[in-house]
């Protein structure tokens, strides 16, 4: 599939930002708000000082990526940086597998990478935006202090 920003970035304008980030406050703090969500379930946030941060949901990490929204948007046009942030190759493969998120949905891990899931199309499903960020934020919060290699079981509710 040929990708464009319309199928790489998810429209979340109809969703309360506080609902999206509530289970990630422990990591991102209370001074940031979402400015962009990728179809693969990562989020970009703007802090009160204007800096932009990348919430990598697969890793459960946050990283400062730009000093301003303008710098962030400029970096999106740099192919190596944007390919890392938005995983173009994998996203194209997921679309080619037949999955297409509808409004309010995105691609989400069946088995999160932090517990052994792989970055392959078969490990993705379509999930509600809030459900994706609630589950992933809760999972990362619960396991953040566990020693590496600790066995983890995720139960379906």
Which tens digit of pLDDT belongs to each residue from 2-59? 899 999 999 999 999 999 999 999 999 999 999 999 999 999 999 989 999 999 999 9
With cut-offs at 50, 70 and 90, classify the pLDDT of residue 156: low
Q: Taking 60 as the threshold, does the pLDDT of residue 68 lie above it? A: yes
Q: What is the pTM of this model?
A: 0.92
What pLDDT sits at residue 105?
Answer: 97
Q: Taking 90 as the threshold, does the pLDDT of residue 107 lie above it? A: yes
Residue closest to 28 by CA, chosen among 68, 56, 66, 8: 56
Measured distance CA(91)–CA(67) in Å, rounded: 27
pLDDT in tens, 108-155: 999 999 888 999 999 999 999 999 999 999 999 988 877 777 767 665
What pLDDT sits at residue 154?
Answer: 67
What pLDDT sits at residue 145?
Answer: 78
Asked if residue 77 is part of any domain, the answer here is: yes
Which residues are bridge partners to 107 per DSSP? Answer: 126
Residue 65 belongs to what H/E stretch?
Answer: strand 61-66
Measured distance CA(157)–CA(71) in Å, rounded: 42
Domain that holds residue 21: 5-140
What pLDDT sits at residue 1?
Answer: 74
Asked if residue 44 is part of any domain, the answer here is: yes
Q: Is the C-alpha dihedral spanning 19, 20, 24, 30 positive or negative?
A: negative
pLDDT in tens, 52-62: 999 999 999 99
Query: Per the structure, how many domains does the chain have?
Result: 1
In 7-157, which ranges are E strands? 9-10, 32-38, 43-47, 52-56, 61-66, 105-109, 124-128
Q: Note whether 102 and 126 are within 8 A (CB).
A: yes
Asked if residue 16 is part of any domain, the answer here is: yes
What pLDDT sits at residue 70?
Answer: 97
């Amino acid at each position: 599939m040929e990708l464009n920003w319309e199928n790489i970035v998810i429209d979340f304008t109809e969703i309360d930002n506080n609902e999206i980030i509530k289970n990630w406050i422990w990591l991102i703090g209370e001074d940031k708000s979402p400015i962009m969500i990728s179809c693969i379930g990562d989020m970009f946030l703007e802090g009160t000082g204007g800096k932009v941060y990348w919430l990598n949901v697969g890793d459960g990490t946050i990283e400062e990526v730009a000093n301003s929204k303008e710098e962030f948007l400029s970096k999106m046009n740099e192919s190596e940086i944007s390919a890392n942030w938005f995983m173009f190759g994998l996203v194209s493969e997921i679309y080619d597998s037949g999955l297409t998120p509808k409004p309010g949905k995105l691609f989400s891990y069946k088995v999160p990478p932090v517990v052994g899931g792989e970055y392959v199309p078969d490990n993705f499903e379509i999930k509600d935006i809030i459900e994706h960020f609630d589950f992933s934020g809760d999972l990362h919060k619960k396991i953040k202090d566990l020693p590496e290699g600790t066995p983890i079981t995720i139960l379906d509710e």
